[in-house]
Structure 1
Amino acid sequence: MKEYVERSYRLLHRQHDLVFFQIAVKETDLDIGIPRDKLTAGLVEGVKQEVIHIRSQLEQYIAKDQTFLRTLKPYLPGPGAPEIARVMARSASTAGTGPMSAVAGAIAQHVGVYLAKRCREVIVENGGDIYIRSGQTRKIGVFAGPSPFTNRLALEIEPHRTPIGICTSSGTVGHSLSLGKADAVVILSPSAALADAVATAAGNLVQDENDLQAAVEFAMGINSVTGALAIKNDKLAAAGAVKLAPV
């Protein structure tokens, strides 16, 4: 399975001018791209410690508030909640989902912002949710499981649109909860946490090809969402600042 994931999924966001390294802490599994001259053992260790720190804050809060972990509906965290939990809750509330729908995007963005203070080019991928800051145009391949668009279709991300979150929800790929059957719903937003939550909410709306347009329209109706793409089988719908290109 690991080899399949590497070839069919992570390779779609790899860039030839960047060097990539991985950080894995419990469920958080990051693939991170930065300029080669910025890669040092100290930087890698710093990222790892930042992930441990942010996860620890979230885990300690969840231990005291199980509703935050389990609910699928908007939920306000209690007093003393760490900033990562508040970001997740705000984003999920905007999307109409539970806070954990934003966790992967929120962590990707947190690490991306940490690295952006040190590197001019940053890509952080966390379970299919991506944060990008770049001074050049980037092509990010779309992974849509069994759809014929997989490995054939990419999003072209222009530098003036970054930093940006590119987050994907699927009802046919991966272990993340989806109540829909989309092969992929991809959401673009300056907030990766919001993009993650909206991808979940929009993905929940897709049962078949007839739901694709409604899903992207729902997503585009949410403030700060700049683009939406929904795929089922050999059909797709797109709206907003989505520039498609061949892989």
Structure 2
Amino acid sequence: MKEYVERSYRLLHRQQDLVFFQIAIKETDLDIGIAHDKLTAGLVDGVKQEIIKIRSQLEQYITADHTFYHTLEPYTPGPGAPEIARIMARAAATAGIGPMSAVAGAIAQHMGLYLARRCREVIVENGGDIYMRSERKRKIGVFAGSSPFTNRLALEIESHRMPLGICTSSGTVGHSLSLGHADAVVIMAPSAALADAVATAAANQVQNEDDLQTAVEFAMSINSVTGALAIKNDQLAAAGAIKLAPA
């Protein structure tokens, strides 16, 4: 899909009071927003080195534990696993699926926490999965492929709900594995790794519009998930702390 390839969906989480910069290393492609006065060459270089470090830890572990990478079932990493792998595995097991379902959210969260030690306002987006920390209300647009809701709906998020993970899975947009056909399932949770895994698991359940409510109810049954939104064509279902607003 052209809109996905060009990543124009990134305009849906951009905030006018923040400056955004991009760093792409292999499959990790981050769009990062911070306050203008925090953007320095040193900070950007630090972010780049941290991504390289966390990716290297994960890549080395995957090389030694192929099951971790390939399984679609809950999996307990071995004793030598780095913390990023353990976070992914715990989040995915909670959702009932394999660890790699949480990789984008886990990396977004890791980098968000890294930046939060230096910046009060932080948005880190990684392939449609977002970690956000802010002291003000934010609006995040919803991208749902060819659904008429794309570019028309946004999530309004109050500051007291942050830091927050806002992660999206789709069976019709992007390259990530999905066993369903949802245009978008958006999950909110304090952990972006968990939000990512639950979004994947919930989206797997959507074959048509009749499955939207079931997917949302499944997501909300998982402890610490605070909101769920599922979209297929011109239908949607939502539950929890989802506050919809015009994009």
CA distance in 2, matches of 1:190, 1:23: 24
CA distance in 2, matches of 1:182, 1:188: 17
SS in structure 1 opposite 2:125?
strand
Deviations 1:100-152 (A, max 9, x none): 00000000000000000100100000000000000001000000000000000
SS in structure 1 opposite 2:225?
coil
CA distance in 2, matches of 1:60, 1:129: 23
**Is 1:76 aligned to 2:76, yes or no?**
yes
Measure how far apart 1:228 and its partner are.
0.1
SS in structure 1 opposite 2:215?
helix
Kept after mapping to 2: 8 A contact 1:97/1:197: yes
Q: Which residue of 1 aligns with 2:93?
A: 93
Kept after mapping to 2: 8 A contact 1:8/1:143: no
Measure how far apart 1:2 and its partner are.
7.4
Q: Which residue of 2 aligns with 1:107?
A: 107
CA distance in 1, matches of 2:186, 2:5: 18
Q: What is the identity, as a one-letter code, of the residue corresponding to 2:210?
A: N
Measured at CA, do residues 10 and 117 of structure 1 come closer, stay the same or move farther in structure 2, by a change above 3 Å? same
Q: Which residue of 2 aligns with 1:135?
A: 135
**Is 1:155 aligned to 2:155, yes or no?**
yes
SS in structure 2 opposite 1:9?
helix
CA distance in 1, matches of 2:128, 2:225: 18
Q: What is the identity, as a one-letter code, of the residue corresponding to 1:30?
A: L
CA distance in 2, matches of 1:4, 1:96: 28
**Is 1:220 aligned to 2:220, yes or no?**
yes
CA distance in 1, matches of 2:186, 2:111: 20
Measure how far apart 1:80 and its partner are.
1.0
Measure how far apart 1:8 and its partner are.
3.4
CA distance in 2, matches of 1:196, 1:7: 18
SS in structure 1 opposite 2:156?
strand
CA distance in 1, matches of 2:59, 2:52: 10
Deviations 1:62-82 (A, max 9, x none): 000000000000000001100
Q: What is the identity, as a one-letter code, of the residue corresponding to 2:173?
A: V
CA distance in 2, matches of 1:94, 1:181: 22
SS in structure 1 opposite 2:120?
coil
CA distance in 2, matches of 1:100, 1:7: 22
- Equivalent pairs, count: 247
Kept after mapping to 2: 8 A contact 1:137/1:158: yes
CA distance in 1, matches of 2:195, 2:122: 18
Measured at CA, do residues 4 and 75 of structure 1 come closer, stay the same or move farther in structure 2, by a change above 3 Å? closer
Q: What is the identity, as a one-letter code, of the residue corresponding to 1:22?
A: Q
CA distance in 1, matches of 2:187, 2:3: 26
Kept after mapping to 2: 8 A contact 1:8/1:151: no
CA distance in 2, matches of 1:2, 1:213: 29
* Ranges of 4+ aligned residues in structure 1 off by more than 6 Å: none
Q: Which residue of 2 aligns with 1:196?
A: 196
Q: What TM-score do you get using the length of structure 1 for normalisation? A: 0.98
Kept after mapping to 2: 8 A contact 1:132/1:165: yes
Q: Which residue of 2 aligns with 1:242?
A: 242
List runs of 5+ in structure 2 lacking aligned partners.
none
Q: What is the identity, as a one-letter code, of the residue corresponding to 2:191?
A: S
SS in structure 1 opposite 2:229?
strand
Measured at CA, do residues 108 and 4 of structure 1 come closer, stay the same or move farther in structure 2, by a change above 3 Å? closer
Q: Which residue of 2 aligns with 1:31?
A: 31
